[in-house]
A and B are shown apart, each in its own frame.
Chain A
Amino acid sequence: MVSTHQKEYIHEIICLPCDSTGTAVRHVAARGVLATTVIGVLAITLFASNTLLSDRPVPNLPVSPIDPLVEAECGACHGAFHPSLLPAAEWTALMATLSDHFGEDASLDSETTSNIEAWLTAHSAETADTWPARALSQTTPEAPFTVTQTRFWQHMHGDFPDEVFTDPAVAGRSNCAACHSDANRGLFSPFAIELPKEITL
């Protein structure tokens, strides 16, 4: 129990200075101009930084779209793979062995070969900041330049039965775009995956 004497004492401590009814009062002048200025400066700063940041290009996103020469030559036989899916050293190795390219002769004249190689190596996995580019930026000596043989690819696709890849709507493990609608930009977002209607799992 708090005695009457204690109550008066607490009242004295809390309520100084007090008005005539004993309610505590603190006299502070309203500083409307200062308040408006502070809020205004904060608002302008936030708005300006938001605008400036969103105007900047996103650093290291993979290039888009695929170079027209690469699209024409590589895309003549298969969906042109995004350059960010292999490290530069593997693109160089691949371009040096076009006469035996996954079981076929895919030779090009030397000028076209060097132009394509220059573009691929300039946009290789090391230059991109995406999940697949980071995962595929290591060379794989046991299966050079074969994305589908990498541990990363197999880990991501290991659950799918063979029939998915042999289905005519997919036509092979190399046909990324059959399910990944953003394959040609190298993004491979989980939200851009759409299995062909023919596939039933």
Chain B
Amino acid sequence: MKQYLVAVALTALSLPLFAADTTPAELIAKYEQEAGVKADIQAGQSLFMDNHTGGKPDTPSCTSCHTKDPRAIGKLRTGKAVDPMVPSVNPKRFTDSAKVTKWFGRNCNSVLGRDCTAAEKANFIAWLDSL
């Protein structure tokens, strides 16, 4: 009993380190609803893989940092590693809505030079979640 309580207490203490308030499925549903269309997995793949114009010259594509294999560890321009994008490889991915908002905001502007549409966000997560 005592050990059980200690385990529960330790688990409770460790929770704030991993602020999970959503899931990939929830996010896809939310963006689909905003867009009014179903997510298109193929379009999500193109969005990730293609080179775009209009963004900042150093980051023409998502793959500039995340590499062409979203299951792999990516590398930022600063040399820092970035965890895999695929939720089945990295279960923390797309579970913190504040982080998702922040990084879509930054990276859509860096790569596309504009905000992503709700449909693009749904497609993007749907493709990564299908891998």
Q: Do A and B come from one complex?
A: yes
Chain A residues at the B interface, C-beta cutoff of 8 Å? 77-79, 99-100, 103-109, 168, 170-172, 174-175
B105 at the interface (CB under 8 A from A): yes
Q: Give 9 pairs: A residue, B residue, CB < 8 Å, sorted on A.
A: A79-B78, A99-B109, A100-B56, A103-B59, A104-B59, A105-B106, A107-B106, A170-B79, A171-B78
Chain A nearest Cβ from B116, distance in angstroms? 12
Q: 1/0 per residue B47-78: CB within 8 Å of A?
A: 00000000011110000000000000000111
Q: B107 interface residue, CB < 8 Å from A?
A: yes
B79, B105, B109 — most chain A CB neighbours (10 Å): B79
**CA gap between A100 and B57 in the complex, in Å:** 11
**Does the CB pair A175–B57 fall under 8 Å?**
no
B57 lies within 8 A of A103 (CB): yes
**B106 — nearest CB in chain A belongs to which residue?**
A105
Query: Chain B residues in contact with chain A, CB under 8 A?
Result: 56-59, 76-80, 102, 105-107, 109-110
Which residue of B57, B58, B80, B106 contacts A106 across the interface (Cβ within 8 Å)? B106
> How far in angstroms is the closest Cβ of chain B from A118?
20
Distance of A112 from chain B, by nearest CB (Å):
9
Q: How far is the CA of A105 from the CA of B78 in the complex (A)?
A: 14
Q: Which residues of B contact A103 (CB under 8 A)?
A: 56-59, 77
Q: What distance in Å separates the Cβ of B19 from its nearest Cβ neighbour in chain A?
A: 12
A99 to B76, CA, bound (A): 17
Give Cα distance in the complex from A105 to B76, angstroms: 13
Q: Do A105 and B79 have beta carbons less than 8 Å apart?
A: no
Count the A-B residue pairs with Cβ separation under 8 angstroms: how many? 44
Is A105 a contact of B80 with CB atoms below 8 Å? no
Residues of A with C-beta under 8 A to B107 = 105
Query: Do the beta carbons of B109 and A105 come within 8 Å of each other?
Result: yes
Say yes or no: B78 contacts A174, CB within 8 Å. Answer: yes
Expressed in whole angstroms, the Cα–Cα distance for A108 and B56 within the complex equals 18
Cα–Cα distance between A106 and B106 once the two chains are bound (Å):
6
**Which one of B56, B76, B78 has the highest number of Cβ atoms from chain A below 10 Å of its Cβ?**
B78
Complex-state Cα separation, A100 to B106, whole angstroms: 10
A183 to B56 alpha-carbon distance, docked (Å) = 29
What chain B residues lie within 8 Å of A108 (beta carbons)?
A: 102
Contact of A104 among B102, B105, B106 (CB under 8 A): B106
B78 touches A77 (CB 8 A): yes
Q: A103-B56, A104-B56, A104-B59 are in contact. Are A175 and B106 (CB under 8 A)?
A: no
Q: Which residues of A contact B76 (CB under 8 A)?
A: 77-78
Interchain CB contact (< 8 A) of A175 among B56, B79, B102, B105: B79
One of A78, A104, A109 near B80 (C-beta < 8 A): A78
